[in-house]
Structure 1
Amino acid sequence: MDPTEDQSDTLTTQPEDQNDATTTEPEDPLADIPELHTYVATDQEERTAALRLVADSIAQMRQAANNSLIFNPLNMAILVAVFAVVARFMIGRGHEPFIVGTTCTGILCIELVLIRNLTQEYLSAAEEINWAWLGDADLIVTKFGDEIIGTAVVNWVSGESRQKRKKAWRGEIRSWTVRLRYRGKGVGTALLEQAIKESKSKGAEGIDFADYHANSKRVTPKFYSGKFDKADRRARAKLQDMLETSPTKTRRKRGGSS
C-alpha cells in the first residue's frame, strides 16, 4: 500500500472530526433555571405564602424607617452636637475620658431604643395581615420554581359607572411587593400587567392603588418618610403608564387617586 495514500486518508479525516466537534451545539446554561409564572393563586399554600410576603414587606419598612431616622443628616448633626456639649461639660468637671466615652455611648443607645420604639407600629401592622384583612381580594403571585417571590393583592369593588346608569367594577391594589433579592428584575411589572389583565377580564372600569394600601402606613414625620412617599408615587405613575400603553387598555375613571 502506498504510504502517501495512508497519509492522505489521515489528513482528510482529521478536519472532519474537528468539524463535528465544532458543530456540536453547547448546552443551554439556563436550561435548569425555572421560569417565572404570574397568575391568580387559588392554592391555599400559595395564598398563605403570598400573605406572609405582604406582612414581611411591612416589617421591612421598619428597618428602612430606622435607617432614615438614624442616618438622617440633621439627626446625626444634633447627636454630634449633644456629644460635644456633654463631653465639654464632663471634662470641665474633671471626669476621665473613659467616663465621657461611656456616657456618650449610653446616649447613643438611648437614641436607638427610642427609634425602635417609635417604629414598633410597623410590626403591629404586619401582624394585621391575615385572612380577615384579605377578605375576597385576589392574590396575584409570581412564582420562581417553588418559591413565591412577588404578589399583588387586588380587591374588586363596585361603584358608579361614568354613565351613572349602572354599577361598575373597579380594581384596587391593596398591596404590591416583591421579595428583596428579586427587586429591580421586572417581577413587579409582571404583577401589574397581570392585574391589568384581570381587570379587563372582569370588565372593570379601571384599576388603581388603594388610597390606604398595605405599605402606606407612616409612623414617622413626613420629613423622614420621603423615601416611602417617593416609592408610592413611582408605583402609581408606573401603573398609570402601563394602563395608557396597554394593548388591552382599561378605561379609568377621572379624578382617581394620584
Structure 2
Amino acid sequence: MITSKTKKIGILGWPLGHSLSPIMHNAAFEALHLDFVYVPLPVHPENLAQAVAGLKVMDFAGVNVTIPHKVKIMSYLDEIDFSAQLVGAVNTVVIKDGKSIGYNTDAQGFVRSVLSNSVKITEQTAVMLGAGGAARAVACGLFQHGIKKVIIGARNLEKAQQFVRNFSTNVDIQAYDWEDYDFQNLLQECDILINSTPIGMSVHDTEVLPIPWESLNPDAVICDLIYNPSKTQLLLSAKKHGHIALNGLGMLIEQGALAFELWTGEQAPRQIMTDALKEYL
C-alpha cells in the first residue's frame, strides 16, 4: 500500500513508453518488503530544470534518467559522482539530505552482464557499432576493466572521430566509417562485437548492420544492447554463424540493480528482477 511515508523513485525521460524499469524495480521492492514505489515521469526537455527541482520538493529518494536527459541533467544536480564524470552522462540520481547526486551505472552494468556470461574483457579487442551515449558508457566500462583496444564503427565518421576525441590519449581507441574497407578488415581481430545503435529494435526494421560474417573472427562474442526484441537480426545471424550471442537484457538488469543498491542500501534481488522482465517480455 502506498502511503505518505512511501519513498518515491522515478524515471525521467521523453517519451517513456518503452521503459521496463518500473516493472523491474517494483518487483524488487515488493520482494524485499521495502516501502518504495517506482513511477514513470515523462518530462519534456524544456521542463527538465523544473522537474529536477520538483523532485526535491516532492521528497523523491531518487530517479533513473534516460534519453534525452542523461547529459543535460548534469547541469541541474548538486554533485556528480566519478562514475558519471567518466562517462559524461548520468543515468541514476540519489537525493539525500537535500542534495541531488548523479551517478552512471550503465558502464558497470554492461561489464557485469558480460562477465556473468564468462566473456573475457582483459587484453581483448572490442568493435563497437555506433558512437552515441550508450557506446560511450560501454567503452568506459571496457577500459576500466582492461580492454586492450576499442574500434568504433559508425555511419557518420565525423561523429565517430568526435567520440574518440572525448577519450584520454592514453587509451587505444580508433574511429572508422563502418562501410570503410579498413574497418571491415579489422573485424578479423575482434574479440567482442557490440551493437549500440537502435538498428534491430523494430521487428520491421529493414536496415542491416554491415557485418561481413566471413571476415569476422569466428570466436568473437556478439552483444546487442537491444533487449526488446530479445532476438534481433544481428543475434539471429550471430547464432547462425556459430557465435555466442548476448542481448541487452543483462545490461538492463545489472545497471538497474546497481541503481537499486544506491537508493536502498540493500542488495538487489537480481533473479526477481530478471524473472519480472522475462515474464513481461
| Superposition TM-score, scaled by structure 2 size | 0.24
**Greater RCO (Cα-Cα under 8 Å, separation 6 or more):** 1
Higher alpha-carbon Rg = 1
Please state which structure has a larger fraction of its residues in strand: 2
